Structure 1
Amino acid sequence: MACLFRVPAEVVKQRTQASHFKSSLEAFKFLLKDQNNEGLIRGFYRGWNTTILREIPFTSIQYPLYEFLKKKWAFYEENNKISPLQGATCGSIAGGTAAALTTPLDVLKTRIMLHKERIGLVALTKNLIKEEGFKSLLNGMVPRILWISAGGFIYLGMYETVHFILTERNEINKKLQ
């Protein structure tokens, strides 16, 4: 469901970064006017399938790894609980790992969004490896890892903080009853 909003935003962002558009609003208006003959939906949702193809393995790696790291860390803690900061650290490591492993899919998603004509994933992958080498599938890996690690730290750290506060509040209420 998140991709319903994420993909159009990504298309506008990618087009703004890699083209002659002066702003995201200009890229958005261009897509709205359908000057590229793709149609409104196809223009805004170019790369939808590849985005889904990236998101499923990303999420399938990130969240189980996050839970695994929390359980391992909690095992070594006195009360078998981790702090919100420790949870945020687990979220950062899990996000960074998932980002690294799914970078080739992210590269392909970006190339499809930016390709002048519609192109299939298999054809794009073959062309990319043939013309630029396999290493091109790893372009942008370090910034992606850093960005998603920071996001995992903040997002899952906030989750852990709220969870901690609500759990503590619940335990206090039980003691008062």
Structure 2
Amino acid sequence: MSLDNRSISSNSFVYWSSLISGGVAGLVVDIVLFPIDTIKTRLQSERGFVRSGGFQGIYKGLAPAAAGSAPTAALFFCTYDGLKSHLGRWVSQSQQPYVHMVSAAGAEVVACLIRVPIEIAKQRRQALSMKHGASSLEIWYHAVKSEGIRRGLYRGFGTTIMREVPFSFIQFPLWEYFKLNWSAVTGTSLTPLSVAVCGAIAGGIAAGLTTPLDVAKTRIMLADEHTANRSSVSTILRGILRERGIKGMFAGFVPRVLWITLGGAFFFGFYDLTSRLLNSDESI
């Protein structure tokens, strides 16, 4: 096999490894931690926690989340690892954090093409009454029929990007930094468990700092079509600040941080474990 063919084969395996590892990690996280996400969504809802369902039916919306988690995470990590690999060749070691930031931002934009319609169905099942559709398919049908594809299925797309990009700007450089310095600080080798710890800490920090953007995104996705068309992130956050103060801006802070801290541990841990298993099979 020529050098070029080996390079192509190696790159193809990296992409497939990222797709499979990311898919497994995303599916595990969404299924295991779904109830915490439901509680967070209901706390952030304009209807309030109790009127949105309280602790009842905390698995509502699991089906679209589970169906979309694997392809979303797979697409994210395939894009992230691909961009990181290509961009990393052109910069020095000291500039690598910027590569991680740009790669994560690009991956988030691509992943949101799947994530946003999934979030629409999931959050409406989590927090709204059944008039919006008893199933995810009915929710999507109602959204497209009443608002069209762009304003229905992709309502909140810009807000989601505004939440995810700052989140990734914080999370991924921290995750890469913690991994890079893990052995020097702890004196132990980097294992899937230590990668999980790095992911948990990085995710928790990023989740706490970006909670107001998550609150705004949730409000936009849950609003009716007339209210949503007049809403912007700044308008929503000003309204929340006026009505509920700083506490309202950080509604759902505890379950969000808990969810993403635990999710970071599961997500990055399973991602690393699956990648190692795939790489060991490839080397045989």
TM-score bracket for the superposition, by shorter chain length: 0.7 to 0.9
Q: Secondary structure at the match of 2:189?
A: coil
CA contact (8 A) 2:212 2:237 kept: no
Go from structure 1 to structure 2 and tell me whether the alpha carbon gap of 1:84 and 1:137 turns closer, same or farther (over 3 Å shift). Answer: same
Q: Confirm or deny that 1:88 pairs with 2:200.
A: no
Matches of 2:239 and 2:170, distance apart in 1: 28
How far does the alpha carbon of each residue in 1:50-78 deviate from its partner, in whole angstroms, 9 at most, with x for none?
A: 10001111111111111221223210355
State the TM-score, normalizing by the size of structure 1: 0.83
How much does 1:166 deviate? Answer: 6.3
CA distance in 2, matches of 1:33, 1:100: 36
Identify unmatched segments of 5+ residues in structure 2: 1-109
Give the superposition deviation at 1:160: 2.5
> 1:64 — aligned with what?
173
Partner residue of 1:112? Answer: 220
Q: 1:98 corresponds to which letter in structure 2?
A: A
1:103 aligns with 2:211: yes
CA distance in 2, matches of 1:114, 1:101: 22
Larger radius of gyration: 1
Q: After superposition, what is the alpha-carbon deviation per residue over 1:98-145, rounded to whole angstroms, capped at 9, x for unaligned?
A: 111111110011111122312122221211111121211111111111
Which residue pairs with 1:159 in the alignment?
Answer: 271
The AA in structure 2 aligned to 1:134 is I
2:253 maps to which of 125, 141, 145 = 141
Q: Secondary structure at the match of 1:133?
A: helix
Q: Please say if residues 204 and 261 of structure 2, whose CA atoms lie closer than 8 Å, have aligned partners that are also in contact.
A: yes
Q: Give, in whole Å, the separation in 2 of the partners of 1:24 and 1:163.
A: 32
CA distance in 2, matches of 1:20, 1:155: 31
Matched AA of 2:122: K
Q: Distance in 2 between matches of 1:19 and 1:162?
A: 36
2:138 match:
26
Q: TM-score, normalised by structure 2?
A: 0.54
Matched, 1:130 2:242: yes
- Give unmatched runs, 5+ long, in structure 1: none
Q: Distance in 2 between matches of 1:122 and 1:76?
A: 41
Q: What is the aligned-residue identity percentage?
A: 46
- Rounded to whole Å, the distance in 1 between the matches of 2:193 and 2:121 is 35
Aligned residues: 168
